[in-house]
Amino acid sequence: MDVINELGLERCQDTLIGGTFVRGVSGGERKRVCIGNEILLNPSLLFLDEPTSGLDSTAALRTLQMLHIIAKAGKTVVTTIHQPSSRIFNKFDKLILLGGGSSLYFGKASEAMMYFSSIGCAPLIAMNPAEFLIDLAKRQSNQTWNNGEGKAPNSVLTVGESKMAEDVIFKGIKSNLDFYGGNLMLHPQGEFKIRLDCCSSFQYFGLSFLCLLQFFTFPQERAIVAKERSVEMYKLSAYFLARNISDLPLDLLLPIVFLVIVYLMAGLKLRFSAFFQTMLTIFLSIVASQGLGLSIGAAFIDVKKATTLASIIVMTFCYLVDSLSGKFHQWCDGSGSYDGDDHWVPHLLAYLLLRTMKFKTMM
3-state secondary structure of 263: helix
The pLDDT tens digits along the chain (363 residues) read 578 887 878 888 888 887 766 778 887 888 888 888 888 878 888 888 888 887 888 888 888 888 888 888 888 999 988 788 888 888 888 998 888 778 888 999 888 888 888 888 888 787 888 888 888 887 765 554 445 444 444 444 444 445 555 554 555 555 554 444 444 444 444 444 444 444 444 455 555 555 566 556 666 677 778 877 877 778 888 888 888 888 888 778 888 888 888 888 877 788 888 888 888 888 887 787 777 777 777 777 777 777 777 777 777 776 666 655 555 445 444 444 444 444 444 444 444 444 444 333 333
Task: Identify whether 162 is part of a domain.
Answer: no
- Last residue of some domain: 112, 145, 178? 145
- Residue 271 CA, chain-centre distance (Å), reads 40
My answer on whether 205 and 334 are in the same domain is yes
Task: Identify whether 166 is part of a domain.
Answer: no
**Per-residue b/e over 282-309, b at no fewer than 16 CB within 10 Å?**
bbebbeebbebbbbbbbebeeeeebeee
**CA dist., res. 141 & res. 101, Å (int):** 8
**CA dist., res. 282 & res. 271, Å (int):** 17
Percent helix, strand, coil in the chain, to 5, is: 65, 5, 30
Task: Identify whether 186 is part of a domain.
Answer: no
Cβ contact 81:130 at 8 Å = yes
Cβ contact 203:309 at 8 Å = no
pTM, whole model, 2 decimals? 0.49
My answer on whether 135 and 226 are in the same domain is no
**CA dist., res. 246 & res. 69, Å (int):** 38
- Give the structural domain span for 301: 194-355
What torsion, rounded to 10 degrees, do the Cα atoms 224, 229, 231, 233 define? 100
Task: Identify whether 351 is part of a domain.
Answer: yes
CATH number (domain holding residue 24): 3.40.50.300
My answer on whether 220 and 117 are in the same domain is no
My answer on whether 202 and 334 are in the same domain is yes
My answer on whether 131 and 213 are in the same domain is no
DSSP string covering 19-66: -SSS--S-HHHHHHHHHHHHHHT--SEEEEESTTTT--HHHHHHHHHH
My answer on whether 216 and 322 are in the same domain is yes
Cβ contact 129:113 at 8 Å = yes
My answer on whether 263 and 342 are in the same domain is yes
pLDDT of residue 216: 61
- CA-to-CA separations, 204 to 57, 221, 264, 292, 295, in angstroms, rounded: 57, 27, 22, 14, 19
Report the candidate in 63, 17, 55, 56 with the shortest Cα–Cα distance to residue 39: 63
Give 319's DSSP letter: H
Number of domains in the chain: 2
My answer on whether 343 and 206 are in the same domain is yes
My answer on whether 252 and 104 are in the same domain is no
Task: Identify whether 156 is part of a domain.
Answer: no
Give the CA radius of gyration of the chain.
32
**Per-residue b/e over 313-348, b at no fewer than 16 CB within 10 Å?**
bbeebbeebeeebeeebeebeeebebeeeeeeeeeb
**CA dist., res. 171 & res. 50, Å (int):** 51
**Cβ-based neighbours of 362, under 8 Å, separated by 6 or more:** 189
My answer on whether 110 and 251 are in the same domain is no
